[in-house]
Amino acid sequence: MTVLDPNILNPFTLLDPHISHLISLIITIASISLSFIISWHFFRSYRFSGFGYLLGLPVGFTFIALSFLFEHLSLIYSNNDLAYPAFFWIQLALQSEALALIALSYRFKNNEDAGQYDNSDNLLVSTESHQIKTSVKLRDVFSSSLPMVMVAIPFIVPISELVSDPDFNYPALADMSFFMRLYNMAIFGYIFSSSVLSLIKAANIRLLYIPAAFAFLWLEQYSLTITYFDNSIVAFIGSLIARLAGLTLFVYVVYNVTSKQRRRKIEIEARKKT
Partner 1 sequence: MKLKQERRHKLQLFNAILCAIEEDITINKTARPTRIQHYSRLSYDKMMNHFIELEQKGMIYRTGDGLVSITNKGKKFIKQYDELISLIENVGL
> From CA 65, how far away is CA 71, in angstroms rounded?
10
Q: Of the candidates 153, 18, 174, 175, which has an alpha carbon nearest to the alpha carbon of residue 85? A: 174
> From CA 246, how far away is CA 227, in angstroms rounded?
19
Residues 88, 91, 96: CA angle, nearest 5 degrees: 130
State in angstroms the smallest separation of the CB of 59 from partner 1.
Answer: 15
Smaller CB separation from partner 1, 62 or 194: 194
State in angstroms the smallest separation of the CB of 100 from partner 1.
Answer: 16
Smaller CB separation from partner 1, 42 or 89: 42
State in angstroms the smallest separation of the CB of 198 from partner 1.
Answer: 4
Smaller CB separation from partner 1, 197 or 234: 197
Smaller CB separation from partner 1, 77 or 108: 108
State in angstroms the smallest separation of the CB of 247 from partner 1.
Answer: 14
> From CA 201, how far away is CA 86, in angstroms rounded?
44
CB under 8 Å to 181, separation ≥6 — which residues? 221, 224, 225, 228
Smaller CB separation from partner 1, 145 or 204: 204
State in angstroms the smallest separation of the CB of 106 from partner 1.
Answer: 7
Smaller CB separation from partner 1, 75 or 104: 104
State in angstroms the smallest separation of the CB of 228 from partner 1.
Answer: 30
SS3 168: coil
| Positions in the binding site for partner 1 (CB under 8 A) | 41-42, 44-45, 48-49, 53-54, 57, 105-106, 109, 116-121, 194-199, 202, 204, 207, 209-211, 253-254, 256-258, 260-261, 264, 268-269, 271-272
> From CA 162, how far away is CA 160, in angstroms rounded?
5
State in angstroms the smallest separation of the CB of 174 from partner 1.
Answer: 34
Q: How far is CA 180 from the centre of its chain?
A: 12
Q: How far is CA 106 from the centre of its chain?
A: 12
> From CA 245, how far away is CA 146, in angstroms rounded?
30
Single-letter amino acid, residue 148: M
DSSP string, 24-37: HHHHHHHHHHHHHH
Smaller CB separation from partner 1, 25 or 245: 245
